[in-house]
Amino acid sequence: MRRLLIGCALAGAAVFGLATPAFAHNVLVGSNPADGARLATGPTSVELDFNAPVQNGPNVITVIGPGGGHWEQTQNATVDGDTVATSVAPLGPAGVYTVGYRIISADGHPVQGEVTFTLTKAGNGKAVAGGTAAGPAASGGGSGSGGLPVWVWIVGVLVLLGIGVVVVLRMGRRTEDTAG
Amino acid sequence: MSARTTTVAPRAGAPATRYALFGCIGVGAPAGVLAALALTTTAAVPGIVEPGAAVVVGLPLARALLDLSALTTVGMSLLPKFVGFDQPERTAKATAVARRVAVWSSVLWLVAALASLEFQTANFSPGQPVTLSAIGDYVREIGSGQALLIVAGCALLYLVIGVLAVRRGETVPAELRITVSMFALLPLPATGHAADAASAWHDLTMISMELHVVGAVLWTGGLLAVIMVLGTNRALLADALPGYSKLATVCVFLTAVTGALNGWFELYLTPGVHWYVALFATGYGRILIGKIICVAAAGLLGAHVRFRLLPAIRQRKATAVAGWAAAEVAVMGVAFGLAAVLVQAPVVS
């Protein structure tokens, strides 16, 4: 029993050591431009405010125009506390623009959603070409050395452990049988 | 699942129906996962790269497998405590079965933790290949990645201790196995969504979440172990079930109260919507309702065993306890499946 109590105490200490200060699942509480806003001139940046800090990681913001083109300068959004922002190219045709986001919550879970705003007067900008490719390509290059997909490793671990355990248990069976 | 049944069955000399319990919980959990996924489907956001269907389904399935193998390992570790150490000649066969099952469930536990790590990394940066370096980045950035590594390490440690225990019998102390297996339960809830950083209730909700997980695992794992290993041995069942029943009674209330508290708090903390609206209007709330129903149903099934069957079991009479326990375990499997989605579900409609 005492061993058990000591174990529990150690476990409790370890848990509090591991715990990070923030755990919430982020919720969008505001944006600039606001959801449903009607603007005469396009914004130079889009800011999204959350109720909790956003973690560094693959935070993505897109701005999709009436024709389906991308207008965000870069998909890799900058994080400042609870706010995520990205710069926007000069907008083009009048109409509804959709700001899509997928950000890393304070608890590490990705959260996604969208807000929209309407451009009432057409600007003279052009859609950014290749907007979708910017995010994934940026950090994917350095991983060429780890060529095998990870599930192969996991299956390998499973097979090796399985064989190992069977072998050891079979060896163990003899000692167990002679002992008991 | 199949590895466990095929490897252990011949030696245990048990009827195949004994392993039906694993079937019940193994069917219940994926059912819960799929139901919860259906409740939380989100509309695609234009321009955003989303993880593929394999990741969306695989992530909670791996988590459910992790939980099930964890509770099996914990339950099997506790079994010697339930049957007692006084009469080793009577209990030796049963505890030997429990040790073997625990070895295989710890293998599954380890693999499920690694698979979860892979799926979480894929979910973290969709559209990119999941390589070892990507997983390394994920572990460095995100707490639950670190927690999964600790869980995998604990499962491996348990595997080593478990194999030793199979070879040396109960000279490897049961407390050691209980401690390692239960310690491995703690890291994941500590990194889940328990509370707002700014909230004064943060420590309380985290402790409450830990108690919730421990309670649910002791309840389900204990039942699984006692019925699976002792279900056909009326004499040992008469010894072990009353002790388990006392523990389970505490755990049922602990699980229900802490679960309700944490669920309510998560809804309450969500800005812009009243918690009672969010309970019915959001996927998170609906899964929560599903879990409440599951816990209530499993609690009633448990109460039937406790109050109607236990008196007869004490007198070593034949009862239908295995069937009732199978139903209870299946319902708890659904609850664990729902939970696997709930832990990552946002409170949005």
Closest CA–CA distance from residue B321 to any residue of chain A (Å): 30
- The pLDDT score that the predictor gives to residue A126 is 84
**DSSP, residue by residue, B171-203:** GS-HHHHHHHHHHTTSHHHHHSS---TT-TTHH
Nearest Cβ partner of A23 from B48, B133, B192?
A: B192
Cα–Cα distance, A161 to A156 (Å, whole number): 8
pLDDT tens digits for range A29-61: 999 999 999 999 989 999 999 988 888 888 999
- Quickly list H helices, A2-96: 2-18
- The pLDDT score that the predictor gives to residue B196 is 47
Mutation pick from B6, B11, B40, B48 vs chain A, by most beta carbons of A within 10 Å, is: B48
Of the pLDDT bands very low, low, confident and very high (cuts 50, 70, 90), residue B294 is very high
> Given an 8 Å threshold on Cβ–Cβ distance, is A11 in contact with B110?
no
Closest CA–CA distance from residue B270 to any residue of chain A (Å): 7
> Given an 8 Å threshold on Cβ–Cβ distance, is A23 in contact with B196?
yes
> Given an 8 Å threshold on Cβ–Cβ distance, is A165 in contact with B128?
no
Compute CA distances B148 → A5, A110, B86, B165, whole Å.
Answer: 24, 17, 38, 25
Nearest Cβ partner of B45 from A23, A102, A142?
A: A102
Cα–Cα distance, A168 to A162 (Å, whole number): 10
Instruction: Inform me whether the C-beta atom of residue A96 falls under 8 Å from chain B C-beta atoms.
Output: no
B131 in Cβ contact with A146 (< 8 Å): yes
- The pLDDT score that the predictor gives to residue A174 is 52
3-state secondary structure of A31: strand
Cα–Cα distance, B330 to B67 (Å, whole number): 14
> Given an 8 Å threshold on Cβ–Cβ distance, is A52 in contact with B186?
no
> Given an 8 Å threshold on Cβ–Cβ distance, is B49 in contact with A166?
no
Nearest Cβ partner of B197 from A22, A29, A157?
A: A22
Q: How many CB atoms lie within 10 A of CB B129?
A: 17
B-chain residues near A98 (CB < 8 A): 46-47
Instruction: Inform me whether the C-beta atom of residue A113 falls under 8 Å from chain B C-beta atoms.
Output: yes
In a 10 Å sphere around its CB, with 0-12 CB exposed, 13-18 middle and 19+ buried, how is residue B93 labelled? middle
- Which two structure tokens, joined as six digits, stand for B205? 């909700």
Residue B7 has pLDDT above 80, yes or no: no
- Which two structure tokens, joined as six digits, stand for B149? 């590594």
With CA atoms as reference, report the closest residue to A113 among B347, B271, B144, B275.
B347
In a 10 Å sphere around its CB, with 0-12 CB exposed, 13-18 middle and 19+ buried, how is residue A93 labelled? middle
In a 10 Å sphere around its CB, with 0-12 CB exposed, 13-18 middle and 19+ buried, how is residue A40 labelled? exposed
Nearest Cβ partner of B46 from A57, A100, A169?
A: A100
A-chain residues near B191 (CB < 8 A): 18-20, 23, 107-108
Residue B292 has pLDDT above 50, yes or no: yes
Instruction: Inform me whether the C-beta atom of residue A98 falls under 8 Å from chain B C-beta atoms.
Output: yes
A-chain residues near B144 (CB < 8 A): 107-108
pLDDT tens digits for range B245-289: 999 999 999 999 999 999 998 888 888 788 888 898 888 899 999
- Which two structure tokens, joined as six digits, stand for A61? 């913001």
User: Given strand A78-80, what is the order of strands in its sheet?
Assistant: A28-32, A45-50, A83-87, A78-80
> Given an 8 Å threshold on Cβ–Cβ distance, is A114 in contact with B114?
no
What residues form DSSP beta bridges with A98?
A: A64, A116
Nearest Cβ partner of B48 from A56, A112, A139?
A: A112
* Residue pairs spanning A and B at CB distance below 8 A: 223
Look at A116-120, B79-83, B278-282 and tell me which has the smallest mean pLDDT: B278-282
Task: State which amino acid sits at residue B155.
Answer: A
Asked whether the ipTM of the predicted complex exceeds the cut of 0.85, the reply is no
pLDDT tens digits for range B30-59: 999 999 999 888 778 888 888 888 999 999
> Given an 8 Å threshold on Cβ–Cβ distance, is A60 in contact with B130?
no
User: Percent of chain B beyond pLDDT 70?
Assistant: 91
- The pLDDT score that the predictor gives to residue A13 is 54
User: Percent of chain A beyond pLDDT 90?
Assistant: 28
SS3 for B48-113 is CCCCCHHHHHHHHHHHHHHHHHHHHHHHHHHHHHHHCCCCHHHHHHHHHHHHHHHHHHHHHHHHHH
Cα B319 to its chain centre, rounded Å, is 27
- Which two structure tokens, joined as six digits, stand for A65? 């125009």
Instruction: Inform me whether the C-beta atom of residue A161 falls under 8 Å from chain B C-beta atoms.
Output: yes
| A30 phi and psi angles, rounded to 5 deg | -175, 165
B-chain residues near A56 (CB < 8 A): 141
> Which residue on chain A is closest to B3 by alpha carbon?
A162
- The pLDDT score that the predictor gives to residue B135 is 92
- The pLDDT score that the predictor gives to residue B112 is 96
Closest CA–CA distance from residue A66 to any residue of chain B (Å): 12
With CA atoms as reference, report the closest residue to B189 among B311, B344, B301.
B344
Closest CA–CA distance from residue A107 to any residue of chain B (Å): 6
B-chain residues near A22 (CB < 8 A): 196-197
Cα–Cα distance, A24 to B198 (Å, whole number): 10
What residues form DSSP beta bridges with A38?
A: A118
Mutation pick from B55, B168, B193 vs chain A, by most beta carbons of A within 10 Å, is: B193
User: How high is the mean pLDDT of chain B?
Assistant: 88
> Given an 8 Å threshold on Cβ–Cβ distance, is A27 in contact with B346?
yes
Instruction: Inform me whether the C-beta atom of residue A82 falls under 8 Å from chain B C-beta atoms.
Output: no
pLDDT tens digits for range A67-116: 888 999 887 889 998 999 999 999 989 999 999 999 988 778 888 899 99
- The pLDDT score that the predictor gives to residue B125 is 87
- Which two structure tokens, joined as six digits, stand for B225? 């172990």
Residue A2 has pLDDT above 90, yes or no: no
> Given an 8 Å threshold on Cβ–Cβ distance, is A20 in contact with B191?
yes
A-chain residues near B190 (CB < 8 A): 15-16, 18-19
Residue A176 has pLDDT above 60, yes or no: no
With CA atoms as reference, report the closest residue to B245 among B331, B174, B307.
B307
> Given an 8 Å threshold on Cβ–Cβ distance, is A21 in contact with B197?
yes
With CA atoms as reference, report the closest residue to A116 among A77, A63, A75.
A63
Residue A138 has pLDDT above 50, yes or no: no
Closest CA–CA distance from residue B196 to any residue of chain A (Å): 5
- Decide which of B298 and A154 is more confident: B298
**DSSP, residue by residue, A97-165:** EEEEEEEE-TTS-EEEEEEEEEESS--S--PBTTGGGHHHHHHHGGGTTS-S-HHHHHHHHHHHHHHHH
- The pLDDT score that the predictor gives to residue B271 is 80
> Which range has highest mean pLDDT (A8-17, A126-135, B310-319)?
B310-319
The average pLDDT across B218-244 equals 93
A-chain residues near B265 (CB < 8 A): none
Residue B216 has pLDDT above 70, yes or no: yes
> Which residue on chain A is closest to B43 by alpha carbon?
A113
Single pTM value for the model: 0.86
B228 in Cβ contact with B18 (< 8 Å): yes
3-state secondary structure of A60: strand
Cα B271 to its chain centre, rounded Å, is 30
